[in-house]
Amino acid sequence: MAKRCLLTLFVTALCLQIGYGQNNTQENITAAYNSITLDISPAIISLTAPDLIKYFGGDEISGAYSFGIGLQYERSIDDSLSLAWRLDYFTLGTGLKIGFDSVNVSNIIISKITFENHFRFFPFNGNFFMGGLIGYTYLSMDLDGNATVTDPLGGIHSGDFSLIVERHSIKFGARAGWRIRFGRNIGFTLETSLGYDIGIAFSESLTDQFKKGIFGTSNFPMKGLENLEENFQLLETLIIAGGPRITFSLGWSF
């Protein structure tokens, strides 16, 4: 559903670009030098929260919520160049039961904050742009539950846990899209883009932090937690490693 909504929004923006942008004069589209836009695509993506929970093997879900939004400020240098600064926020929380053999998670809150610096080039001094970005992503997971694991010597360890694991990364990306300004000096702005991001994490993995939080060491060999490690890695792939990106923003130019 979310993918269909994003595709519909992108096609709508493209049609507006064809119908409006091609007949607009350069004077009308270059007079405004500042834009503040709100990207609603993270909010649409947040509708896939139940699917994200399924990736973790969620058995019983209660009180699930998810929210995402992106805020961007862009400053035009001249008709062909601009700089933009973007802040993204995403959170997913739920009371649920997740079972990974001997580990049960009863509550989880995932939060992500991303800050990006964009450089844009408008090759035709018009609406179409291409550019790159460098940014920083902070990911945190608040986990509550209990674990019962068996060490290599046959010893059984069990108990409740409540811990927060964090992950830091830098990201690089490329974008191409359209920024349509309806008005000369001030007015409504619509922006949509497609791109691809690559993330490089530079902190301890979520799995190692999870082990350290429970046992005090990331080297503790825990049998029966292979599925948990796989799902932590999947989460990092989805949020940190990047991949295809789509934006659909609405805002104001001045």
H and E: helices and strands count for the chain = 6, 8
The one-letter amino acid at 143: L
156 is written with which tokens? 């059984």
Cα torsion angle, 248, 202, 205, 211, sign: negative
Given this model, what pLDDT does residue 115 score? 96
| Entry field: residues in the chain | 254
Q: Backbone phi, then psi, for 104, in 5-degree steps?
A: -125, 125
Q: Tokens 């300004």 identify what position?
A: 181
Per-residue burial over 9-26, b = 16 or more CB atoms within 10 Å of its CB, e = otherwise: bbeebeebbeebbeeeee
- CA–CA separation, 191 vs 37, rounded Å? 8
pLDDT, averaged in runs of 10, over the chain (254 residues): 48 47 45 86 73 56 76 93 95 66 72 95 92 94 77 69 87 94 82 92 80 65 60 68 86 92
User: What CATH number is associated with residue 131?
Assistant: 2.40.160
What SS3 state is found at 215? helix
Given this model, what pLDDT does residue 162 score? 82
- CA–CA separation, 63 vs 93, rounded Å? 8
Asked whether 91 and 67 are in contact (CB, 8 A), the reply is: yes
Asked whether 85 and 73 are in contact (CB, 8 A), the reply is: yes
Range of the domain at 59: 2-253
Q: Backbone phi, then psi, for 91, in 5-degree steps?
A: -140, 145
Number of structural domains found in the chain: 1
